Amino acid sequence: MDQKKTVPSPIVRATKPAAAEHFTLAHLKESLDKFHIRVEYQPKVPFQPSENAVFGVEALCRIQHPDLGLITPDRFIALAEEAGLMAQLTDQVITQSFFDWRKWFDHGLSLKLALNISPGLLADSAWVEQFLARQSEYGIDPEYIVLEITETLPGAANLQALDVLQRLTLKGYMLSIDDFGTGFSSLSNLYKLPFGELKIDKSFTADFHNDAAARALVESTVSMARRLGIRVTVEGIENDATFSELKLM
């Protein structure tokens, strides 16, 4: 891939909501061909900051279309999955993310980089080799990379995917089960697959103070993860009160 085309340019924040509703597969193909893919970063902050605590970011994919404005993932991920374009889309996100990470690291900033990986890609040996080649190209140690697998999508628990996940774990990558609590195979995935992190979905965090069931799920998940030796990330913390309560857990 031409490096000049993969360097992220400044993100234009203007959006055109009405136009975005008309985003089609043709627009997605055009965006991939013309490198309209952009990456933004969401912080991953430790509950117990210390001298040795590692901060991180999660790479979030956006499309900055010249005519339709900013397009969010809910408009194009399903299209990419159905059209077999996830490998191309993910490679562009990874290339931009690795470019940014390398720049940060060279300036003295060491961050964990979390990347969302569709379970379907785990069965694509060509994509796996391409991913490993990108990591080598940018000289990133696998210990800095977290691969987030969404549990609501099928494919992560088949034998071929399991072989790939174990291979990646042995190379030093951390695997994270994303959107934990929203799928139907959470517990089986936890003991079948080599996950080192689970992420509690933001829908439970939003109801944390008002819904006893949501609170109980968060508490039990944290307790279970601790017993299994798996670290927990909680999505969607928007205020100090929630942060403080979860920190106590």
Quick one: average pLDDT of 74-84?
Answer: 93
Instruction: Please give the Cα distance from 167 to 125 (Å, whole number).
Output: 12
- Which burial class, exposed, middle or buried, applies to 200 when counting CB atoms under 10 A from its CB (0-12, 13-18, 19+)? buried
* Residue-level pLDDT at 56: 95
Share of the chain above pLDDT 70, in %: 83
Quick one: average pLDDT of 204-215?
Answer: 83
Instruction: Please give the Cα distance from 82 to 89 (Å, whole number).
Output: 13
pLDDT bucket at 63, cuts 50 / 70 / 90: very high
Most confident by average pLDDT, 101-105, 153-157, 178-182: 101-105
pTM of the model: 0.84
| Average pLDDT over the chain, rounded to an integer | 84
pLDDT(5) > 60: no
* Residue-level pLDDT at 15: 46
Higher pLDDT pick, 87 / 51 = 87
pLDDT(65) > 60: yes
pLDDT bucket at 207, cuts 50 / 70 / 90: confident
Q: What residue has token string 């072989």?
A: 163
Quick one: average pLDDT of 76-86?
Answer: 93
Higher pLDDT pick, 197 / 155 = 197
* Residue-level pLDDT at 215: 87
* Residue-level pLDDT at 157: 55
Higher pLDDT pick, 63 / 215 = 63
* Residue-level pLDDT at 12: 45
Quick one: average pLDDT of 229-248?
Answer: 88
